[in-house]
Amino acid sequence: MRILMTALAVVVLLTGAARAETVRVGVTAGPHAEILDVVKKVAAGRGLDIKVVEFTDYVIPNQALALGDLEANSFQHEPYLKNQLSKTGWKIVKVVNTIASPQGVYSLKYKKLADLPDGARVAIANDPSNGARGLMILALHGVIKLRDPNNVASTIADITDNPKKLRFVELDAAQLPRSLQDVDLVSINNNYAVQAGLNPATDAIAREAADGPWVNILAVREEDKDKPWVKQLADAFRSDEVKAFLEKRFKGTYVATW
């Protein structure tokens, strides 16, 4: 009986250890999920088990991380995270930069921004950071002027010059590709653009600079940031295997920052 109990104790201990090495990482469906699948394979070879958890919006992944339903997430840029933290007080921190993905604006009616007519309808995201991102693309290309063209929290109220009298429509980021049929111009986050069959590198009629503030990040709870698995996860992401996958699969739409 004592031998049996000892054996069971060993099994329990081993099972507990295996569970401790499994981390749940949240991503948005599409390119971020594809990339994390490669990260998962790299991490598995280094002793870290990743469970990929997919989401269809930008709000829930941080909430799930803050509530302990995830150990990490990889779907957002730092301005978006900072905006959510300012409203919630969640204790989430950036670990490392991951990928850059210059965002674009799209139109089914016009081939360049100069062709936009007066009063054209422009759809942008209704969350503060991604809405600002769309406005900053237009400001970068001289279509509008913003009070501070480098302010990642710019809103429609910060437009100081709108010579074409553009009319802005704010929509949930996931719904923006569907609005292409209904408006003249749409600013679409790249993961949703790719899911909709668009290639940001070739289909966008204008894009932002690659060295802007919108680099994606890996995030964890503040209490976990110094745990060994965090470095394992970050190193697996920023690996040669993932970089090669980005180059082959996305051809400039998503690029490594390491």
Nearest 5°: CA angle at 111, between 106 and 115? 105
pLDDT number for residue 36: 98
What lies within 8 Å, CB to CB, of 35 at 6+ separation is: 27, 74, 99, 242, 245, 246, 254
How many angstroms separate the CA atoms of 61 and 69, rounded? 9
**Fold for the domain defined by 104-207:** D-Maltodextrin-Binding Protein; domain 2 (3.40.190)
pLDDT number for residue 211: 79
Which has the closest alpha carbon to 219: 118, 96, 132? 96
* β-bridge partners, 145: 161
pLDDT tens string 203-218: 999 999 877 899 999 9
Q: For the chain, what percent of residues have pLDDT higher than 90? A: 85
Confidence tier at 111 by pLDDT (50, 70, 90): very high
17-21, 89-93, 108-112, 169-173: segment of lowest average pLDDT: 17-21
- Whether residue 108 has pLDDT greater than 50: yes
For the ranges 11-25, 153-167, 243-257, the maximum mean pLDDT occurs at 153-167
Q: CA quadruple 147, 161, 128, 140: dihedral positive or negative?
A: negative
Q: Is residue 51 a contact partner of residue 72, using CB atoms and an 8 Å limit?
A: no
How many angstroms separate the CA atoms of 153 and 249, rounded? 32
Which has the closest alpha carbon to 33: 46, 8, 51? 51
pTM: 0.79
Name the residue ranges covered by the structural domains of the chain: 2-101+214-256, 104-207
Burial (CB count within 10 angstroms: exposed 0-12, middle 13-18, buried 19+), residue 15 = exposed
- Average predicted confidence (pLDDT) for the chain: 92
The architecture CATH gives domain 2-101+214-256: 3-Layer(aba) Sandwich (3.40)
- Whether residue 5 has pLDDT greater than 90: no
The residue-averaged pLDDT of 143-149 equals 97
- Whether residue 152 has pLDDT greater than 70: yes
How many angstroms separate the CA atoms of 220 and 196, rounded? 29
What lies within 8 Å, CB to CB, of 190 at 6+ separation is: 31, 101, 102, 103, 104, 200, 253, 254
pLDDT tens string 118-140: 999 999 999 988 999 999 999 99
- Whether residue 147 has pLDDT greater than 90: yes
pLDDT tens string 40-87: 999 999 999 999 999 999 989 999 999 999 999 999 999 999 999 999
Q: Is 38 or 2 the better-scoring residue by pLDDT?
A: 38
How many angstroms separate the CA atoms of 25 and 91, rounded? 16
Domains 2-101+214-256 and 104-207 share a fold: yes
How many angstroms separate the CA atoms of 168 and 132, rounded? 12
pLDDT number for residue 20: 44
pLDDT number for residue 40: 98
How many angstroms separate the CA atoms of 251 and 77, rounded? 20
How many angstroms separate the CA atoms of 72 and 66, rounded? 9
